[in-house]
Homo-oligomer: A and B are copies of this chain.
């Protein structure tokens, strides 16, 4: 049985590879990949992944990843979950390593990716670790400090 998280990954991959204009189309692609879902579920997935439907003019549309300054929202989310799931922040040169509660690595890494910061080249999530690749050592130092700050001072804005 395919998990919801796998399906979310699949959706992101599908829309970044091909041009999907309706949820029905997405359902079709997912079914070809053996995800047995309906439009209702895809609608909920799109909402959770915050995908946007971009008008391309003359009535064409395509789904895309939201490239927005939603960063604020993402930061709020990170502030909320960091103290709960992240246990340690360390660094080797330009790589910041986060130790997190088992199973939460990919979720947190996804959030960090969504920050779309220019000083972060990318992230890789394992079981209980996340590697955050800084663009430079200096950038990684600053990141390390920011992450450490998130660890101790958990605020919430709901």
Contact = CB atoms under 8 A, between A and B. Distances in A.
The contact size tier of chain A is: 35 or more
Given A55-B46, A68-B64, A142-B17, A122 B116 contact: no
B50 A52 contact: no
B139 A13 contact: yes
Interface of A: 9, 12-13, 16-17, 19, 46-48, 50-59, 64-68, 70-71, 73, 113, 116-124, 133, 135-136, 138-139, 142, 157
A68 B54 contact: yes
28 contacts: A12-B118, A13-B118, A13-B119, A13-B136, A13-B138, A13-B139, A16-B117, A16-B118, A16-B119, A17-B119, A47-B57, A47-B59, A48-B55, A51-B55, A52-B52, A52-B53, A52-B55, A52-B66, A54-B66, A54-B68, A67-B70, A67-B71, A67-B116, A113-B118, A113-B121, A116-B116, A120-B122, A124-B133
A57 B50 contact: yes
